[in-house]
Amino acid sequence: MTPMIRGNICLNAHPAGCEAAVQAWVARAEAKAANIKANAEKAGKSLPKAVLVLGASTGYGLASRITAAFGYGAATIGVSMERQPSDKKPGTPGWYNNRAFDRAASKKGLFARTIDADAFANETRQKVIELAKEEGIVFDQLIYSLASPVRLEPSTGIMHRSVLKPLGSPFSGLSLDVLSGALSKVSIEPANEEETKATVKVMGGEDWELWVKSLKNAGLLSKNFVTLAYSYIGPSHTSGIYRGGTIGKAKEHLEKTAKEMNAWLKPYGGSAFVSINKAVVTRASSVIPVVALYVASLFKVMKEKGLHEDCLDQLLRLYADRLFADGKVPTDPEGRIRMDDWEMLDEVQAEVAIRFANATEANLREITDFDGFKQDFLEAHGFAVKGVNYDIEPSLI
């Protein structure tokens, strides 16, 4: 089986490759377990015993779940929406990742339940609540890591569709084709008000708060409950389409929601954070115009400086150096956890700006890490994973 890629979307996934990639992350998290536990103990903070991860099957959500389970020994419930395979058509990578996670957790005797359902639906909230009650689980953490193009709002029945568009004026930049390395100019017209509102409905904080409130009302939050949602800021090159665009409005809403939730969680000993994570290659991020070229330039510079991290590195550091730091969780003045601290270093951004501005199809492999970008993209779909024999035709189910 070979990858079928169209417009930076991979249409298939390799089962054995996904399994191997998850196992590799599990092994890396286990290797850090003693270290991160020691940190938590030193800081006098108790380890999370039960963690709910929304968007648990790929990218940052999968890394969060693996860190919680294999780094800290937490019981996890993971929610995601993935396509299961048939005997003719492979499932989505997340479907295979979930299966691999469940197998690895069961092997270690860790409690893990994976729910394949629409996280925006009230029925899914109810399902998680019932499961937690049946199992006697009270959540210490809720990780909100959904990246979705649509949301069916339960209270209105409206299907909101998010868009990746600039605001106010058109945006143009270079898109990078992950398959061929071709660079092409894209121009995107600005969003109208309706599209902006819809994007905030899908990717803002409304659904996150609904989850936390539902669990609280069901008496399922522990005393030192912490909830985290992930966001991104990034540099000026991507700002027109990202932070200054429709998705940026949604992320602002997410951050506002964290502040509001903190106010009502505080009396119960709980807290809410937005963590601004580093740019990485995931199914969600590869399709954002300009971001691919920026990420390839960023990887080159961060690797040269020994600062490169993938999703799992970010999560291991987020737990060890932020959540379980001595004293208060370190944040910026806005109360956000900054895991993009290394990405945004002046020395990194100055060098990335030069590479980003000078990249051409001819010098792409030399001045950017196009190969590394492509490798991560393939791995996210179970291809090009170390140790996997791709000559053997895999069983899809």
Ligand X SMILES: NC(=O)c1ccc[n+]([C@@H]2O[C@H](COP(=O)([O-])OP(=O)(O)OC[C@H]3O[C@@H](n4cnc5c(N)ncnc54)[C@H](O)[C@@H]3O)[C@@H](O)[C@H]2O)c1
Residue positions annotated with a catalytic role: 242
Which of 175, 282, 297, 368 binds ligand X (CB under 6 A)? It is: 282
Give the binding range for ligand X (CB under 6 A) out of 32-40, 65-73, 272-280, 369-377: 272-280
Question: For residues 309 and 361, which CB has a smaller minimum distance to ligand X in the complex?
Answer: 309
Kindly state whether residue 246 participates in binding ligand X, applying the rule CB under 6 A: no
Residue 320 is classified by DSSP as I
Q: Using the rule CB under 6 A, is 166 a contact of ligand X?
A: no
230 contributes a contact to ligand X by CB under 6 A: yes
Read off the DSSP letter of residue 268: G
214 by DSSP, 3-state: which? Answer: helix
Q: How far is the CB of 73 from ligand X (least distance, A)?
A: 22
Cβ-proximal residues to 319 (8 Å cutoff; 6+ apart), any chain: 36, 67, 71, 72
By CB under 6 A, residue 319 contacts ligand X: no
User: Least Å distance between CB 161 and ligand X?
Assistant: 12
Is 280 a binder of ligand X (CB under 6 A)? yes
Say how far apart CA 225 and CA 313 lie, in whole Å. Answer: 23
Q: Which stretch binds ligand X (CB under 6 A): 59-67, 210-218, 328-336, 365-373?
A: 59-67
Residue 94 binds to ligand X (criterion: CB under 6 A): yes
Rounded to whole angstroms, what are the CA distances from 155 to 120, 159, 210, 302? 11, 11, 11, 44
Helix residue ranges per DSSP H, 305-345: 311-317
Strand 337-338 to 271-276 pairing: parallel
3-state SS class at 133: helix
Using CB under 6 A, which of 8, 39, 58, 64 touches ligand X? 58
Q: What is the dihedral of CA 299, 305, 310, 315, to 10 degrees?
A: -140
Does 81 bind ligand X (CB under 6 A)? Our answer is yes
Judged by beta carbon, residue 145 or residue 196, the one nearer ligand X is 145
**Interacting residues toward ligand X by CB under 6 A:** 55-61, 79-82, 94, 118-120, 145-148, 230-232, 277, 279-280, 282-285
